A and B are shown apart, each in its own frame.
Chain A
Amino acid sequence: MNSSEVEGLLERVATQFMLGEDAETVSTLALLSQIAIPAEASELVRELHLVASKNMTGEEAWSDEASRQRMETGLDRLRQILSQPIAASEAVAAPALAVRAQPAVSSALNQDPELVGDFILEAREHLQTVESGLLILEKEPSNPDTLNAVFRSFHTIKGLAGFLEFANIQALAHEVETILDLARTGELVMTPNLIDLTLESSDYVGKEILRIEAQLYGRDLGEVLDPSALLLRVKAVIGGDHSSPGAVAIVEAVAAVEARAVIEAPWPVAETPVPKYAEPASTPVAEATAERVEETSKDTKTKKTVVTDTPAIRVDTAKLDYLLDMVGEMVIAESMVRLDPELSGTKNTRLQRNLNQLRRVTEEVQKVAMATRLIPVGALFQRVNRLVRDTSRKAGKLAEVELVGEDTQLDKTIIEELTDPIMHMVRNSIDHGIETPADRALCGKPQTGKVQLKAYRQADHIQIEIVDDGRGLNKDRILAKARERGLVGEAVYLADSDIFQLIFEPGFSTAEKVTDISGRGVGMDVVKKQIQKLRGKIEIQSTPGLGTTFFLKLPLTLAIVEGLVVGVGKERYILPIFSVHEMFRPTVGQVSTVQGRGEMVMVRNQLMPLIRLYRSLGVKPKNEDVTQSLLIVAETEGRRFVLMVDEFICKQEVVIKSLGASLKNTQGVAGGAILGDGRVGLILDLEAIYVERRSKAEILKESLIEA
């Protein structure tokens, strides 16, 4: 007997019955009765067949309550009968499965790594659907579309895993699918406990996939994870009378046995089928907010479907990079042709028109090619959803997420690099920002805190905001802590924004107690470093009692940088414009030599070190006289310094290219770029140039002291 086949048929009957397709119901039941199933089941099938036939012929009508009831309970019972023996046999087999899976996995891997690779990608996408779906179900447990979507995803995962002989995943997905199916037919309500269980199952699948992936690339991530405990819990739900508290109790008992470190949830554990978190003293304001949040979540959901429905294909990134290279070359070739003296001076209007057309098309192609690397931030935001749910529970708080602008597009690499910082900041917002429900009630705020994640495009960059309506940053405490640690002098006055920036100092934390979520003061400095690495900026706004907002300003893509092209001697260098403040021709007397610190320049009453770029880069300059040169004020990591160059050539957007494996780590050079004439210009790493200069100065100082 093929259990999935029977199950499929049963599924079909239920749907057909529901849709009132009587003839089909009868024929499917007939099919079912032909398959060898347990005696009790086949008897039931025959009985149902009779009922359905009578309905079809008009002998009885579905409108007759008794007949309908009989069919419904019959199908129900059938499902139970069919799932039990399977469940029982699998429960016994489960521990054995874990052992058996190992060779099976490797054999499938050996057979067709490409297929497994596809499975990994596809399963991950489905897990994402599952996760976001479950979070919606948490709010509306019987949303049919979402239930269907989650069910389908598990179903697909099950099918693929079965095909590739990943028995553990298949077994678990099968059981979870059954739960979801029961929920779909309204026999089970997706209580928070069930959602937890399903999420855990999806986590398990995710971890297994990670392991399979590692194996695929020849790394070993350890043993197959044992799903039997999880399987038992899932089965307890299916096997038991699920609408009674008993089933939930079993689940919880197993959970307790496993001794998971989950802090008691602050809301009543759902022993009633009422799915919504009870808000004991919900004020009208709270309700209004909740409703609004729900509305917006619906909005974003519809928007999301639009995004995911766009047909898409997977393209090798190497291919895309090559395309971008070629497009870049095409743009250069085009401008070389267009600016050729013979053509640019032409009086031939047709030629001029055609050249203009060529330029327009080239520009368009370039724009489209650049856009291929951009993907919507939606996937990243979805992960925040889950994080907020888990963290707020752990911290004993209530929090909701609101996502705005999920379809805002950003470079894929940026999104990948952004995940950790954003997760960290959201975790902080919940742990430090959002107050406990009791505290919130005291302040007259709705008990459920809100974390907003917004993304939108602003001119040539992307802005991401992480907004919470928590207690806000405590300015005085940050300042006190900074003074205590000697970061800020006693008499120094700081603007609010500067005070907030202090939390990005390494090891800085004002948390009174360290929790396992955060508070160790590790992290915000890493966040800032990471954002800076992405050529972004981070700013904070905070109002006591009303909340904190983190503003991230990020470039659209890492592939392009706006640069100043400057000349030193015969060479041309590109300085990233985001680290350049101003440039000027110095006057006599502006530059002075300070003993032990090298040359300094006075700019607007501030003394800054002077770096002669030709010395740092070892090229022969046009002149060594500072007053004949151009000075550029630059800033990296908050330190300002002055660079001396021969001349300013132009301002240009350039595509950043790697210098290749052998020159990748060259000090002072961040990469290369192809300039308008087709030659390579070097993009300078100002930070490295500054650090190198400083270390030289220090060596000089030390040698002076020794002398």
Chain B
Amino acid sequence: MSTAVLDAPTGTKEERSGKYLAFHLGPEEFGIQVLKVREIMGIQEITAVPHTPRYTKGVINLRGKVIPVVDLRLKFGMEEAAYTQRTCIIVTEVEGESGSMMIGAVVDGVSEVLNLSAADIEDTPDFGGEVATTGLLGMAKVKGKVKILLDIDHVMTHQDLNELGKILS
């Protein structure tokens, strides 16, 4: 498909402003809305589930509930990295087709909570025809560094996000 699938970014700038949890995958910095985050936990043993996509690392026990865990690096088509002391699981609560559900996201590390005003957030730039930008809320410039704001509902409930990797590479 040569035509770009360019969805309008979700929400106006005002709606997008607020607190974001900043984390990183390799050199890239990301942010997800704090309201979507249930908790952050250190990496732990993940039970692998057969016949699932590579980015689905498996399931963990979150206080009696079994929840799936997704490796965001793999989800975005980035290179796999060994888990370290700093690797975290961000437990997110996302809206899926069948209501809200909890999904864990493996990230290289979390850094801080950012308070972003509407002025800090810019719409996602056009990356050219090949790249779909759904799954992104926008870009934020904080202290001279660009952070990619994720629409985590979309990221967690859609499969084809490999193209995001193209933005990152």
Binding site for B on A (CB under 8 A): 324-326, 328-329, 571-572, 616-619, 657-663, 666-669, 671-672, 674, 678-682
User: Please, could you name 24 A-B residue pairs with CB atoms under 8 Å apart, sorted by A?
Assistant: A324-B64, A325-B64, A325-B65, A328-B64, A571-B47, A616-B50, A618-B50, A657-B65, A659-B49, A660-B66, A660-B67, A660-B101, A662-B157, A663-B52, A666-B51, A666-B52, A668-B51, A672-B59, A674-B61, A678-B61, A679-B60, A679-B61, A680-B58, A680-B66
Question: Are B98's CB and A663's CB within 8 A?
Answer: no
Encoded as 1 (CB less than 8 Å from any A CB) or 0, chain B from 120 to 139 comes to 00000000000000000000
Question: Are A661's CB and B101's CB within 8 A?
Answer: yes
Main secondary structure of the interface of A (DSSP, over half): mixed
A619 to B102, CA, bound (A): 26
B68 contacts A by Cβ under 8 Å: yes
Instruction: Report chain B residues within 8 Å CB of A666.
Output: 49-52
B89 contacts A by Cβ under 8 Å: no
Question: Are A329's CB and B66's CB within 8 A?
Answer: no
What is the size, in residues, of chain B's interface with A at 8 Å between Cβ atoms?
A: 27
The 8 Å CB contact of A619, one of B48, B63, B99, is B48
Question: Are B50's CB and A659's CB within 8 A?
Answer: no
Instruction: Report chain B residues within 8 Å CB of A674.
Output: 61, 64, 66
Question: Are B48's CB and A571's CB within 8 A?
Answer: yes
B90 contacts A by Cβ under 8 Å: no
In the complex, the chain A residue whose C-beta lies closest to that of B47 is A680
A697 to B101, CA, bound (A): 37
Distance (whole angstroms) from the CB of B69 to the closest CB of chain A: 10
B74 contacts A by Cβ under 8 Å: no
Instruction: Report chain A residues within 8 Å CB of B61.
Output: 674, 678-680
Distance (whole angstroms) from the CB of A554 to the closest CB of chain B: 25
> Can you list the 3 inter-chain pairs with the closest CB atoms, starting with the nearest?
A325-B64, A672-B66, A617-B50
Instruction: Report chain B residues within 8 Å CB of A617.
Output: 50
B107 contacts A by Cβ under 8 Å: no
B96 contacts A by Cβ under 8 Å: yes
A406 to B64, CA, bound (A): 33
Instruction: Report chain A residues within 8 Å CB of B45.
Output: 679
Q: A668-B50, A669-B50, A681-B47 are in contact. Are A662 and B64 (CB under 8 A)?
A: no
Question: Are B63's CB and A325's CB within 8 A?
Answer: yes
A616 to B65, CA, bound (A): 26
Encoded as 1 (CB less than 8 Å from any A CB) or 0, chain B from 58 to 82 comes to 1111011111100000000000000
B152 contacts A by Cβ under 8 Å: no
A618 to B53, CA, bound (A): 12
Q: A329-B64, A658-B66 are in contact. Are A672 and B96 (CB under 8 A)?
A: no
A682 to B59, CA, bound (A): 9
Instruction: Report chain B residues within 8 Å CB of A661.
Output: 96-99, 101
A666 to B47, CA, bound (A): 14
Distance (whole angstroms) from the CB of B161 to the closest CB of chain A: 14
A325 to B56, CA, bound (A): 24
In the complex, the chain B residue whose C-beta lies closest to that of A675 is B61
Question: Are A329's CB and B51's CB within 8 A?
Answer: no
B148 contacts A by Cβ under 8 Å: no
Instruction: Report chain B residues within 8 Å CB of A663.
Output: 49, 52, 56, 59, 68
In the complex, the chain A residue whose C-beta lies closest to that of B97 is A661
Q: A329-B63, A674-B64, A680-B60 are in contact. Are A660 and B47 (CB under 8 A)?
A: no
Encoded as 1 (CB less than 8 Å from any A CB) or 0, chain B from 93 to 111 comes to 0001111011100000000
Distance (whole angstroms) from the CB of B157 to the closest CB of chain A: 8
Instruction: Report chain A residues within 8 Å CB of B58.
Output: 680
